[in-house]
Structure 1
Amino acid sequence: MSIRGVLQHYSQYLPLTDRTPNLSLGEGDTPLVRANAVSQETGCEVYLKLEGCNPTGSFKDRGMVVAMAKAVEEGAHAVICASTGNTSASAAAYAARVGLPCVVLIPSGQIARGKLAQAFVYGARILAIDGNFDRALELTRELGEAHNLAIVNSINPYRIQGQKTAAFEIVDDLGRAPDILALPVGNAGNITAYWKGFKEYATSPQPSPIEGEGDATSPQPSPTEGEGGATSPQPSPIEGEGDATSPQPSPIEGEGDATSPQPSPTEGEGVGRLLPKMWGFQA
């Protein structure tokens, strides 16, 4: 049976060549479901993009499939990443798919157990280190450079390229970009990918980054003057889930107004409780 993943579906929008393998685990094409109860309550048309339906349970699979395919194309003999969760599972799964060894560096005691279990099952070699995520990423860089390993954290530019395909799918489903995009911002890698995707594929919506109050990993948008005097968001696009400290290319200038307030942790918890009750999904 042929699996149509994001590389095949959106090949014309991705940095692929004739030598890029057509890799897929069935990522992408995730459901966009109307949230009926909250739409009725708010008077808005609200939709949920169910990215948990990706192969390892997160949006990271979209970027990882591109990064891994390009690693194979460029002759990598192994891949490496630092992670505290989703990246480890995704890297291990796609490395197993192409037959490359995968090394995952984790801060000791600072990784989601379910994601660590996935990485083990997929055959990754897990190395726990003393220190925080930043130290794990630093060592990942050192090992990658010293041993010619492909680094598949989002300092790898192919990650953002793959993640932008979620925006493409939303446009395909709705017929246009939404007026407002709301998603957990982490360190702004994913929101940057969506912004890039909407800009390439359709008119850009107003991004509404959501993060708990006091979250030190969440950069605040730096407004700049855009076209027509509009205030434009300038998030620093680095990896979500605390997965990188290296900046990616800036998002689009002069589009939209995103001076969004940041919800408190209790507000975030409240949203998490409302999901199963009002929409039938768990966060």
Structure 2
Amino acid sequence: MTEGTTSTTQPKRRTRIGLALGILIAFTAAYLVILFTFLGADVGRSQIITSDSSTTADRVSVKVTLLTINADDNAYKVRVDARPEGRYRNPDGSLATALRFTLDEIGGDHTTELAEGQWMPLREATLTAEGDTSLYPFDVHHIPLEIAIADLQGDPVPITVDLRAGLHDWKATATPLPDTHIGDVRLEMTASRSAPIITFALGLMLVLVLLVVVTVGMVTRAVTTHKIGFPTLASLAALLFAIPGIRNSMPDTPPVGTLSDFIVFFWALLTVAVCMSLASLAWLRQARRETEDPAS
């Protein structure tokens, strides 16, 4: 090997090593970002909303936990755990005063009358919401929630609501509506996909984009060099059927027709189908030439 060849080979080798190290560092950084995004998701985040600004202990504390979300049907299930405090509570935790508890859920307001000395029962309610899953994974859903508590004389009871999202795949926040007042808490909860879900969905989209880019390059090279073989066609057919599987493997993915479908999956499917058609035509022409001129 001459001196000129050696001097040319070494920079190329250093370039390849630097490129490999750069890809490894980028992959490690992306892996750590995704991992800590998942571990740092605020599943147990709590938000306190009160129906009055006083600091009195005479109130009912209500813990609302978001249990399940069916975004396709805009139906949401919450657990409501109410506990009396101050003069409304007996030493054993039961009610010191009879109360009327009203919860707004699907089917209308459900009012329960609780007698003195009774424990406030744990309740589950199904709420309706407004949202559009076609914007997945960036869809946002608005969930109204109203809790009203009064004594049997109709006097309102101060309420403090502790909202908790018990789901790892959703992020929920609540905003008090202007007509919230003592004894009646009216909230608009907002549920959006959590950071790990969005990251995972975007990651799968990126994977599919890279697969399509590599496929286009492979087919272009094979067609221009007239080296189309049956394995190439088989890999294209496999990818064509794998794309819907990749799409459906995204977490909590709604039916076909979402924003992600129009941005990535539809075009990926169309591109692979076009590449397969062109490769098939090139393979047929190549097979015909070989049949007409076996000597070549």
TM-score range, shorter chain: under 0.3
Higher relative contact order (CA 8 A, sep 6+): 2
TM-score by length of 2: 0.23
